[in-house]
Amino acid sequence: MSSFDIDNPAPRRHRPWTAVERAFAAVGLSGRALVIAAPAAWLTLLFLIPLAVVFGISLATKQFGKPPYSDLLTTGDGTVQLTLHLSNYVRLFTDSLYVAAYLNSIKIAFISTIFALLIGYPMAYFIARSSDRWRNILLMLVILPFWTSFLLRVYALTGFMRGNGVINQFLEFIGFQHVINGYNAVLGWAGWQMPSLPFVMMQTDFAVYVGIVYTYLPFMILPLFTNLVKLDGALLEASADLGGRPMRTFFSITLPLSMPGVVAGSMLVFIPAIGEFVIPSLLGGPETLMIGRVLWDEFFTNTNWPRAAAVAIAMLVVVVVPIMLLQKAQDAVQDTARTK
Amino acid sequence: MRRGWFLPTMAILGFVFLYAPIISLVVFSFNESKLVTVWSGFSTKWYGELFADPQMLGAAWLSLRIAAVSATIALVLGTLCAISLVRFRRFRGRTILSGMVSAPLVMPDVITGLSLLLLFVGMESILGWPAGRGMLTIILAHSTFCMAYVCVVVQSRLADFDMSLEEAAMDLGATPARVFFDITLPIIAPALVSGWLLGFTLSLDDLVIASFVSGPGSSTLPMVIFSKVRLGVSPDVNALASIIIGIVALGVFAATIFQLRSRPKKARA
C-alpha cells in the first residue's frame, strides 16, 4: 500500500464537476464566489429582508382587508406618499400591559437563568472531572433530552406538577403532610403558614421557572463543560499545595477561568427564555405575562399584525445586547479550546 | 482523593430532575385509565388509539416530509456557509454572513415566525409567489433556521481539520472541486450526518415558526399536539412521546457507541 508503483499509476478518474467548473470559469464565475453566494443570498432573502419587513410593517396600522395592514406607500395625483404610524410604539410605552409583559419576561428569564446556572454548573463540573468513560456516558445523558421533542418535554412537566401529579403523589406517599403540620405548629403562628398538600404548582410563575430551567439546562451545561474540561489541573494542584481550601480555589481559580462558559451558557438560556411562548402558555397561568405570548395573542387573536411587528422589534432591542455578549463569550470559549 | 460529596450529589439530583418527568411520561403511556397521572393497570390501548387517529397520522407524515426536505436543503446551504467562513478567511461581507448565519440560533421563535410570515405575505401580494401558505413556506422557514445549526456543526469539524491533506491534493494537481469531493467531504461526513439529523429533529419539533407560516390544512405534528395538550392531558400524546423518546434514545445510544468504537484509544490532552 505504502509503496508507489511508477509503472502502474492509479487510473485517472474523470469526474464531471471539472467540466462544470470550466463552464463556470468561462462566464467569469469562480467556484469560490458561488460557494459564498448561495448561502448569502438565501440568508439575505429569508433572514435579513424579513427583519426589515417587520420593521416596515410595525410602522403601519391595522386595517380590515387582505393583508390586514395599511400600505406605507400610497400613490395618487402623481405623488407618492409615505405614511409612517408611530402609534404602535407609543402604545408599547403607554399601555401597562406591554410594559408589564416586558418587565415580567426579563424577570422570569433572569431568575430562570440564575437557577439553570446554579444547577448546571455543578453538573458540568462533575462531568468535566469524571473519567473518560463516564464522561461520554454522562454527556450523552445531557444531550439526549435535547434531541427529544421540546414540546413533549414541556408536556411531561404538566403531568409531573399537576394537583394529582407525580410530585404531589410522591410527597403524600412519604408523608410530607406531617412535616407541613409540624412546621405549621412550630412556625405557623408568625404568618409563615405552609399550604397543605396537594401543592398548587401548575399555572403559576413557579411552573414557568421550572419549565425554562428544565428545557434549557442542556444549553447551560454544554458550553460550561467545554470550558471546564480544558481547565488546567496543575493550577488547582498548585492552589491546593499552597494551602488554598477547596472553596477558595474554586472562587479564585475555577470560577474566573470558566467565565466565558458561564456567560455563553447563561445567554443561551436567557435569550430564548425572553421570547418563550410554549412554556408560559402550557405551564403558566393567565396572569403569567410574557412578551412572546403577548406577540402571539396580538397576531393570532387580535389579528393586529402591525402591533405584533412592533412588539417583535421591541423584543429584538432587548435581546441584542445579550446576543453580542454571547458572541464574545463563544469566541473566548473557542479560543481557550484551541490554545489547549 | 478529596472529591467531596457536593458535586456527585448535585449531579445525581440534576440528572434525576432531567429524567424523572420523561420516565413518568413513558410509564403513564401504558396506563389503563384516561387520567394520565393515576395508575390503574397496564394497557397498550393508547398506542392503538394513536395509530387509529387519522389527524395525528396525517400531521406526522406531513412533518416527516417537511423535516426531510428542510434538513437536506439546510445541509447543503449550511455546509457551503461553513466552508465559506472557515476556508475563505477573508472576503467582503464575511462578518455579515457569519452574523446572519448565527443569529437564527438564538433568535426568539416568535420573531422568526412573524418576520417570515410577513415576508411571504408581502411577496405574495407583489410577486404572486408563494401562492398561499403551506408545506412550501414551512420548508423555506425550517431550512433557514436549520442551516444555522448545520453550519455550526460543520464549522467546528472543519476548524480542526488537517489542512495538509487538502494542500497535498492541490499540489498533486486536483482542482478545488475535486479536492472537496475526494478529500474534504469524506472527512467531514460525520459532521454532515449529525448536522442533517439535528436539522431533521429541530424541524420535526418546531411549533412556533410553523404556526406562523403554515396555512389552512397544513397542520404539522407539533401543532396538532399543542392544540390537544392545551385542552388538558391526553394519554395518546404520552404514547406518541414514548415512541419518539424511544427512537431518539436508540439513535443517540447507537451514535455514541459508534463514536467510541471508531475512535482509537489515544492520549487525551
Please give the grid coordinates belonging to residue B18. Answer: 432531567
pLDDT of residue A1: 43
Per-residue confidence at A337, pLDDT binned at 50, 70, 90?
A: low
Tell me if residue A5 falls in helix, strand or coil: coil
| Out of B28, B141, B244, closest to residue A148 by CB | B244
Indicate if A277 and A311 belong to the same structural domain.
yes
The whole-number pLDDT of residue B150 equals 93
Short-list A336, A99, A150, CA closest to A229: A336
Across chain B, mean pLDDT equals 86
| CB pair distance less than 8 Å for B119 and A49 | yes
Query: Is residue B111 in some structural domain?
Result: yes
State how far the Cα of B143 lies from the Cα of B116, in Å rounded to an integer: 12
Boundary-marking domain end, from A82, A108, A140: A82
User: What is the rounded CA–CA span in Å between residue A185 and residue A174?
Assistant: 19
Residues above pLDDT 70, as percent of chain A? 87
Residue A133 and residue A28 share a domain:
no
For range A291-297, the mean pLDDT: 92
Residue of B nearest to A13 (CA): B178
pLDDT at A335: 66
* Rounded Cα–Cα distance for residues B109 and A272 (Å): 8
Question: Which CATH number do you get for residue B143?
Answer: 1.10.3720.10
Has residue B101 been placed in a domain? yes
pLDDT band at A68 (very low <50, low <70, confident <90, very high): confident
Task: Give the minimum alpha-carbon distance from A225 to chain B in angstroms, rounded to a whole number.
Answer: 13
In a domain, B212, yes or no: yes
Distance from CA of A275 to the nearest CA of B (A): 5
Task: Tell me which of A17-21, A298-302, B74-78 is least confident.
Answer: A17-21
Model confidence at B124, in pLDDT bands (50, 70, 90)?
confident
Q: Cβ–Cβ contacts within 10 Å for residue B169, how many?
A: 18
- Domain assignment of residue B146, yes or no: yes
Q: Which has more confidence, A14 or B113?
A: B113
Question: What pLDDT shows up at residue A191?
Answer: 67
Q: State whether residue A250 sits within 8 Å of chain B by CB.
A: no
Give the pLDDT band of residue A25 (cuts 50, 70, 90).
low
Interface mutation vs chain B, best among A121, A152, A241, A318, most B CBs within 10 Å: A152
Calpha distance A40→A46 (Å, rounded): 10
Mean pLDDT within A269-288? 90
As beta bridge partners, residue A75 has: A80
**Are B120 and B213 in contact, with CB atoms under 8 Å apart?**
yes
Place of cell 400531521: B59
In this structure, the answer to whether residues A304 and A226 fall within a common structural domain is yes
Query: Closest by alpha carbon to A168, among B199, B37, B222, B133?
Result: B37
Are residues A151 and A211 both part of a single domain?
yes
Indicate whether A36 and A135 sit together in one domain. no
A171-185, B113-127, B202-216, range with the lowest pLDDT? A171-185
Residue-range definition of the domain harbouring residue B80: 76-229
Q: Do A55 and A146 fall into the same domain? A: no
In a domain, B166, yes or no: yes
Spell out which residues of chain A touch residue B8, defining contact as CB-CB under 8 Å.
126
Quick check: B25 and A155 CB within 8 A? yes
- Confidence at B168, pLDDT banded by 50, 70, 90: confident
- A216's enclosing H/E stretch is helix A205-228
Domain-embedded: residue B249: no
- Please tell me whether residues A26 and A41 are part of one structural domain: yes
> Domain count of chain A?
2
- Cα–Cα dist B176/B157, whole Å: 19
Instruction: Determine the distance in angstroms separating the CA of A94 from the nearest CA of chain B, rounded to an integer.
Output: 22
Among A11-15, A315-319, B183-187, where is mean pLDDT lowest? A11-15
pTM over 0.90: no
* pLDDT exceeds cutoff 50 at B37: yes
Does the distance separating the beta carbons of B207 and A151 come in below 8 Å?
Answer: yes
Q: Are the beta carbons of A278 and B22 separated by less than 8 Å?
A: no
- Looking at residue A19, what is its pLDDT? 63
Higher pLDDT, residue A104 or B31: A104
A131 CB neighbour count, 10 Å cutoff: 7
Question: Does the pLDDT of residue B263 top 70, yes or no?
Answer: no
In a domain, B51, yes or no: no
Domain that holds residue A46: 16-82
A260 and A125 within one domain: yes
User: Of B225, B228, B194, nearest to B210 (Cα)?
Assistant: B225
Q: A30 with A121, same domain?
A: no
- Give the count of domains, chain B: 1
pLDDT averaged over every residue in chain A: 83
**How far is it, in rounded angstroms, from Cα B109 to Cα B114?**
8
Within this chain, do residues A234 and A269 fall inside the same structural domain, yes or no?
yes
**A30-34, A183-187, B261-265: least confident range:** B261-265
User: Are A74 and A105 in the same domain?
Assistant: no
- Whether residue A279 sits in one domain with residue A219: yes
CB A177 within 8 A of CB A149: no
Is B144 within a domain?
Answer: yes
Q: Does B250 touch chain A (CB under 8 A)?
A: no
Which range is most confident: A159-168, A226-235, B107-116, B223-232?
Answer: B107-116
What's the CA gap between A21 and A161, in Å, rounded? Answer: 60
Residue B133 Cα, gap to closest chain A Cα (Å): 13
**Of A117-131, A180-194, A244-258, B91-105, minimum mean pLDDT range:** A180-194
Q: By the CB < 8 Å criterion, does A333 face chain B? A: no
